[in-house]
């Protein structure tokens, strides 16, 4: 039973409504909907929402029946210094700010080992984008650690985690050149970069990305395309509620689909909702309604019927069931020990809770690796310690061998 504010109440049957009905009637199992249909469906009125969600859920069941996956991870915030100033970000710091920190190699290994003991299989490296380009303090710190740049340090820390633990690194370092994609792909089976949005309007003065040089959509599309050329399993997604329109959401999803159609490397599409925090520049910005969130997930599923689609449970608590009803097939990375540093006020659900609620909806909850089963063959072609670790970590069906009862 859906218990949320759909945010589009009060619409009356009109010609426009007939358009939604036609769009719903035109959905064909296993066939991706067009951009035009997606533009209709993302604005569908409340009275048609249940039908839209049912269509999305049916596609999820055709794609991956009976199972919802998650990645048991530790979050490694390698540095929270960042040269960008996104209006919604609570993670970033300037040097000297309270809480500004760059982890030492010992701290990295300590977190990874603790996660290993709790059955984690993913070390998610999250960090600010190239802080040394803006801050001499970061250049000094890196020099003291013995590295030329944040990316050189990240590469070494991925290698360290790979060597010292059973965890598999999944770096999220921001924009990357072709050379850096090659280098990081040698020490991690998959990586990620949120596209967030294709809207350039968010770069305007006062908008979410007005002081965020790394959030220019064309640059992010270039990084994701480069990963595709190199056949690197890649996680991306969109962030909704930061000033974009419903049309922008569809265009962002279509851009991701186009990249996957071209290169076949998008292993996961995240639909993430903006959550407000008191200390961010966008502290007075309205959050997207749950109706908007569910419509976006459902449209993502129908645009990409064969994609892994996830939505973060901690940003949508307590409405886990509704996310399942909208067609997700994965909960993303969930940590039994480290907080969500990007949204620290939203704790991850207890894994036992997540399992019980997933099972109550009729699904089995399975632990996966940071790289999805269908993308493992590409990752397994790598040589050396990475391939060895992958072989040791995976089951015959490509999920996590270290799987633990949640
Ligand atoms: S969202 Fe990422 S790129 Fe933007 S300020 Fe925060 S850490 Fe930097």
347: CATH: 3.20.20.70
Distance CA 219, CA 193 (A): 11
pLDDT in tens, 250-275: 999 999 999 999 999 999 999 999 99
Kindly state whether residue 400 falls inside one of the protein's structural domains. Answer: no
Kindly state whether residue 20 falls inside one of the protein's structural domains. Answer: no
**Does the beta carbon of 307 lie inside 6 Å of ligand 1?**
no
Kindly state whether residue 6 falls inside one of the protein's structural domains. Answer: no
Kindly state whether residue 354 falls inside one of the protein's structural domains. Answer: yes
Determine the average pLDDT of the residues in 51-68. 98
Query: Which ligand 1 atom is the nearest neighbour of the CA of 126?
Result: 7
Kindly state whether residue 15 falls inside one of the protein's structural domains. Answer: no
Quote the ligand 1 centre to 216 CA distance (angstroms).
Answer: 13
Site to substitute for ligand 1 among 212, 237, 282, most atoms within 8 A of C-beta: 212
Determine the average pLDDT of the residues in 346-362. 86
Quote the ligand 1 centre to 255 CA distance (angstroms).
Answer: 21
Cα-based distances in Å from 105 to 112, 145, 154, 164, 203: 11, 9, 10, 11, 35
Read off the pTM: 0.94
Quote the ligand 1 centre to 402 CA distance (angstroms).
Answer: 32
Determine the average pLDDT of the residues in 60-76. 97
b/e for 221-242, b at 16 or more Cβ within 10 A? bebbbbbbeeebbbbbbbbbbb
Closest residue by Cα to atom 2, ligand 1, is 128
**Does the beta carbon of 111 lie inside 6 Å of ligand 1?**
no
Quote the ligand 1 centre to 89 CA distance (angstroms).
Answer: 6
Number of domains making up the chain: 1
Token reading at 177: 């050149």
Quote the ligand 1 centre to 17 CA distance (angstroms).
Answer: 40
In percent, the amount of the chain with pLDDT more than 90 equals 85
Domain that holds residue 95: 63-393
Kindly state whether residue 295 falls inside one of the protein's structural domains. Answer: yes
**Does the beta carbon of 91 lie inside 6 Å of ligand 1?**
yes
Kindly state whether residue 273 falls inside one of the protein's structural domains. Answer: yes
Site to substitute for ligand 1 among 79, 80, 81, 84, most atoms within 8 A of C-beta: 84
Kindly state whether residue 12 falls inside one of the protein's structural domains. Answer: no
Cβ neighbours around 22 below 10 Å, total: 11
Q: Looking at residue 139, what is its pLDDT?
A: 98
pLDDT in tens, 6-41: 344 444 456 667 788 899 999 999 999 999 999 999
Which residue from 253, 184, 181 is spatially nearest to 223, judged by alpha carbons? 181
């Amino acid at each position: 039973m859906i218990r949320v504010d759909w945010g589009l109440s009060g619409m009356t049957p009109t010609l426009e409504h007939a358009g939604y009905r036609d769009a719903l009637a035109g959905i064909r199992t296993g066939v991706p909907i067009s951009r035009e249909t997606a533009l209709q469906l993302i604005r569908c009125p409340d009275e048609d929402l249940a039908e839209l969600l049912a269509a999305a859920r049916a596609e999820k069941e055709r794609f991956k029946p009976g199972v919802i996956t998650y990645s048991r991870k530790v979050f490694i915030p390698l540095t929270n210094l960042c040269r960008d100033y996104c209006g919604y970000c609570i993670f970033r710091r300037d040097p000297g700010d309270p809480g500004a920190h760059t982890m030492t190699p010992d701290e990295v290994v300590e977190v990874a080992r603790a996660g290993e003991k709790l059955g984690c299989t993913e070390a998610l490296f999250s960090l600010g984008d190239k802080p040394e380009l803006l801050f001499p303090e970061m250049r000094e710190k890196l020099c003291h650690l013995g590295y030329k740049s944040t990316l050189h340090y990240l590469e070494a820390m991925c290698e360290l985690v790979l060597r010292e633990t059973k965890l598999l690194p999944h770096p999220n370092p921001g924009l990357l050149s072709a050379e850096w994609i090659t280098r990081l792909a040698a020490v991690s089976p998959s990586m990620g970069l949120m596209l967030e949005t294709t809207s350039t309007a968010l770069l305007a003065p006062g908008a979410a990305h007005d002081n965020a040089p790394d959030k220019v959509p064309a640059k992010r599309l270039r990084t994701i395309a480069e990963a595709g050329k190199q056949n690197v399993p890649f996680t991306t997604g969109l962030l909704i509620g930061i000033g974009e329109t419903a049309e922008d959401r569809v265009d962002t999803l279509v851009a991701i689909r186009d990249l996957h159609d071209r290169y076949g490397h998008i292993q996961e599409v995240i639909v993430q909702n903006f959550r407000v925090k008191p200390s961010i520049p966008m502290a007075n910005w309205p959050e997207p309604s749950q109706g908007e969130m569910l419509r976006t997930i459902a449209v993502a599923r129908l645009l990409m019927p064969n994609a892994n689609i996830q939505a973060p449970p901690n940003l949508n608590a307590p409405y886990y069931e509704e996310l399942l009803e909208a067609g997700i097939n994965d909960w993303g990375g969930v940590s039994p020990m480290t907080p969500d540093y990007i949204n620290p006020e939203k704790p991850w659900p207890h894994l036992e809770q997540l399992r019980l609620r997933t099972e109550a909806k009729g699904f089995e909850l399975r632990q996966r690796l940071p790289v999805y089963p269908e993308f493992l063959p590409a990752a397994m072609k790598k040589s050396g310690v990475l391939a060895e670790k992958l072989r040791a970590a995976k089951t015959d069906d490509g999920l996590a061998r270290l799987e633990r009862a949640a």
